[in-house]
Amino acid sequence: MNTEEKNPSPDSADTTQADSGIAVGSILDGRYEILEQFGEGGVGLVYRARHIKLGLTVAIKVLQEQFVLHKMMRPRFEREARALATLAHPNIVSVNDFGIADGRPYLVMELLEGQTLRELLNRGPLPIDQVTQVTRQLLNALAYAHAHGFVHRDLKPSNVFIQHLPDRSLHIKILDFGMVKFVDQETHDGSRSLTRSGMAVGTPSYMAPEQVIGDRIGTSTDVYAIGILLFEMLTGRAPFTGELADIVRRQLTDKIPALGQANAHLEVSAELEALIQRAVDKNPSRRYPNAASLLKAFEALPNPPAMRKDVSLDATIAASWNSAATFEATRPIDSRKAASSKLRALRTAARWAGILFIWLGKAVMRLAQGLFRLSRWLVKGLFATIKALYRVAKKAGPRKVAWAMFIFIALALGTWFWLDGGARRLLEPRRGTSIEKPATLKRVRTAIEEKLRGLIPATEQAAESAADLQASESTLLARDDRDESDTEPARTATSDSSKSAGANSGNRDRSRPAAANPWADRKVPRILAAYRKRIFRGEKLSEKALKSLRDYQRNHRSDPRPSLLLARAYMVLGWYRDAVERYLLAYKLDARSRGDKHMERDLLEIVRYPKLSYTAAQAVLEIYGAEALKAIDRDLASSSVDDNAKTALRRLRERIVEGARGE
C-alpha cells in the first residue's frame, strides 16, 4: 500500500497542531467514500477510499490542514497533480483524479499492494540480483521524467514502492512527485519563485550538497540520490548517519566510503565502484548529467557487478527479504570476467553475422534487379522481333508468308524425326548396351536352369506336389474372396490338404533347389517393400492393408513374397493357423522361399501351441525336414523355452529323424 516517510515538513512554519484529517466513512467531493487512513507524510495524509459509482478502491492524498493556506505548500501540492498527470510511465505511480474539496486539495492515485524499499532495507542489504532489478527500473523511470523536464528532488527508500509480480520478479513505483521542479522552465503559477526561495526540500541522508545549501538544482541532483540509494542497497546502511547537523556537514565535506569498507562481506567490481563515486561527486558538473547517462553506464557494468564473499549470506538475505523471491548465487570476479569475454565474443560474432546477412540481402536484391532487367530486355526484344516479323509479313504478302510457314514446319518435323530416329540411336549406343546386358544374362541363366530341370525326370511326387500346389492356391485365393463367416470350412479343407501333403513329407523330391532369401535375389516392388517395413516393425495391418496384399497375390500368382508377408502379418495378429497356410503356399510357389528368415522361426513357435502343434509340425516336415534339426536343437537347449514346448519340439524331432531313416 502507498506509504510515506513520516518526516516533518521543512516548509511549514507551524507543525505542532494535530490534523484531524477527514472522517472515516465520509464522502469526499461527492464521489469517494473514505475507508481508512493508512499513511501520513510531511505535507499530506493518505487514505484508502472507494469510488462510489465505479466501486474502484484508490489511494487519496489530502494536503494537511496547516498547509492548506500556506503560500508555499498549496501551490506545490497542486503542481504535484499536474506533474504526475503528465508522467505516464509503468514505474511512476499514476494519478487518476485531482480536485479541491472543503478547501483542501486532494490527489487520487492508484492503490498499490506491496512494501516500500525502506521496509526492506530495515532488514539489511538486498541480494545482488535484486539490487540490479531495482536500480535498472529506477533509472528507467527517472530517465523518462528527466526527458520531460521534471526532477524528483526527494528520492529516498520510502518513496520507492516495490511490488512482487506473479512470476516472482520485482516491479517498482516511484511515489511523491510533489517536490518536482521544471528544469529551465517557468510556469504561470509562481513555481519559479518556489525553486528560487532557497529552501532545502528533501531528506538529509539523500540530499545533494547543492540541495542542502538551497542552491540551484537539476537532474544531477536525482543522480546523487540514486548513488546513495545504490550504496545503501548494497551495504545495508546509508553512507552518512547520525545527528541531523552531522549528516548535513558530511554531505557537504566528506567523501562517501568505499563499498568494501562499508561492508566487509562485499566484493565489488572496479567499474561499479567508479560509477557510484562519480554519481555522488560533490561537484554537480562532474556527475552523470542525468538518469539516462547513468543508466547507460549501469548497463555496461559486468554481470553481476558485485558479489558477496559468503554466498550463503546472500542467500540468507534473499530469504529474509522475500520468501517468494528467486535468488541465484553470484559468481566470482574471475569467472565474471571470463563470462564478459565470452559475451564480447558472442556480440562480435553476432555483429559479423548481421553484416554478412545484410551483404547477402544486398546481393540477392541486386541479383533480383538484374534478373528483372534481363527479363524486361527479353520481353522488349520479343516484342521488337514480333513487330519486325509483322512488318516483313505485311510487306511480303500472305502467299509468301504461307510458303515460309510451310517450309518452317516441314524443316522442324524433319529435324524432329531425324533426331528421334537414327540420330538418337547413334547418340545413345552405350546406354542401350548397358541396359540390355543384365536382361540378356538373366535370360541366359533362366534358360540354363530350365534345361537342367528338363534333364531331371519328373516323378509322381512332383506331379502330386504340383497338383497339391494348384489345389492349395485355388483354395486360399477362393477363401480371400469370401466373408469372415465363410472362412472356417475353407480353413479346415486347407488344413486337411496340408496334413495329406505332410504325410508324404518323408518321400519329398531331393532335387528341390537350395534355400535362398526371396527378398535378395530380385527387386522388391514398392507396395511389398512398404508393407514389409510396417510388418517388421510389429505394426498390425488393417483389413484394408491385408486385402491389398491378397489382391497383389491374386495378380502375381508365381510370386511367393506376398504369401510370406501375409504369413508374417497373421503372426503379428495372432492368426497362427492362417500363417501356417500362407507359409505352405509360399513354399509350394517357390521351394527356395524357405530361406526366408522368419518362416522357420514362426513355424517352430507355432509348434509349441497344443491346438496347432500337429499342423505346424506337418508344415515343418514338408518344408524343411532334416534342415530344421539345427533350429530345433537350439530351442531345446534354450532356457527360455518351457517344458511343454520342449516336449512338442522333441516329438517333432523324432518324426524328422524317423522320416530320414525311412528314406
Angstrom distance (rounded) from CA 154 to CA 293: 20
Nearest CA to 211 out of 223, 229, 134 is that of 223
Angstrom distance (rounded) from CA 403 to CA 149: 89
Residue 28: its H or E element = strand 27-28
| Contact predicate 106/100, CB 8 Å | yes
In order of 64, 217, 498, the CA distances from 8 in angstroms are 12, 22, 112
- Can you read off the three cell numbers belonging to residue 42? 510531511
Q: List CB contacts of 489: < 8 A, sequence separation 6 or more.
A: none
Angstrom distance (rounded) from CA 8 to CA 156: 15
| Contact predicate 564/603, CB 8 Å | no
DSSP code at position 540: P
Helix ranges (DSSP H) in 19-160: 73-86, 117-121, 128-147
- CB count in 10 Å sphere of residue 191: 20
Angstrom distance (rounded) from CA 663 to CA 343: 85
- CB count in 10 Å sphere of residue 63: 25
Angstrom distance (rounded) from CA 146 to CA 124: 30
DSSP code at position 206: G
Q: Residue 115: what are its φ and ψ, rounded to 5°?
A: -155, 160
If you count DSSP H runs as helices and E runs as strands, how many of each does the chain have, helices first? 25, 13
Helix ranges (DSSP H) in 56-185: 73-86, 117-121, 128-147
Q: Is the dihedral of CA 278, 282, 288, 292 positive or negative?
A: positive
DSSP code at position 280: T
The single-letter code of the amino acid at 663 is: E
Of residues 11, 154, 468, 578, which has the active-site annotation?
A: 154
Angle at 637 between CA 631 and CA 640, to 5 degrees: 100
Does residue 154 have an active-site annotation?
yes
Nearest CA to 110 out of 153, 171, 155, 154 is that of 171
| Contact predicate 17/65, CB 8 Å | yes
Q: Residue 94: what are its φ and ψ, rounded to 5°?
A: -90, 145
Angstrom distance (rounded) from CA 150 to CA 136: 19
Q: List CB contacts of 557: < 8 A, sequence separation 6 or more.
A: 473, 589
The single-letter code of the amino acid at 538 is: G
Angstrom distance (rounded) from CA 251 to CA 239: 9
Residue 653: its H or E element = helix 643-662
Strands (E), 154-285: 160-164, 170-174, 181-182, 266-268
- Can you read off the three cell numbers belonging to residue 633? 536343437
Q: Residue 478: what are its φ and ψ, rounded to 5°?
A: -70, -40
Strands 57-63 and 104-110: antiparallel
Q: In the chain, what is the straight-line distance between the N-terminal and C-terminal CA atoms, in Å? A: 105
DSSP annotation string for 468-483: HHHHHHHHHHHHHTS-
Positions marked catalytic:
154
